[in-house]
Amino acid sequence: MNFSLKTLFVAAAALSFTACSTDSSKTTNPDGSTTTTTEVTTPSAEQVGDKMDAAGDKAEAKMDAAGDKIDAKMDEAGDKMDAAADRAKANAKEADAKMDAKMDAAGDKMDAMGHAAAKSARETKANLKAAANK
């Protein structure tokens, strides 16, 4: 049987409070004096062991309950982190799509500027030729 330090502490505390029990009684003697009789009862090793086992079981149950609560909180935190990651992925996809659209628009604008420059160059060449032939 494995015991944690906390379990053993609880068991030792329970043992110290219940190690012995006393029962006192007072008797009045014929001469008027009183006699006090105290009976000390020491529990058997089996009784002590039973109390230690019960204390250990109680502590173990509390530790299990605490562990279950921690597990539930960790699962809840994991779910929140997963949801945040999913939102971040969705935001990244949206940002990627916006960036692609802006890059495509910039490319289209550069193409248009290139076509306009080529057209201007052709017109300038034609004008120079026409001026040279005159």
Over the stretch 113-125, which tens digit does the pLDDT of each residue have?
999 999 999 999 9
Residue percentage of the chain with pLDDT more than 90: 51
Domain boundaries defined on the chain: 5-27+35-133
Q: What is the pLDDT at residue 99?
A: 96
Sign of CA dihedral 31, 32, 33, 34: positive
More confident residue, 39 or 85: 85
Residue whose token pair is 């007072």: 26
Average pLDDT for the chain? 85
Strands (E), the chain: 21-28, 34-41
pTM of the full predicted structure? 0.43
**Local confidence band at 23 (pLDDT 50, 70, 90 cut-offs):** confident
Percentage of the chain beyond pLDDT 70 is 84
Q: What residues have CB less than 8 Å from 53, skipping those under 6 apart?
A: none
On the question of pLDDT at 14 being above 80, the answer is no
Which residues, including other chains, have CB under 8 Å from residue 57's CB and lie 6 or more apart?
none
* pLDDT, tens digit (0-9, with 9 covering 90-100), for 46-68: 887 888 889 889 999 999 999 99
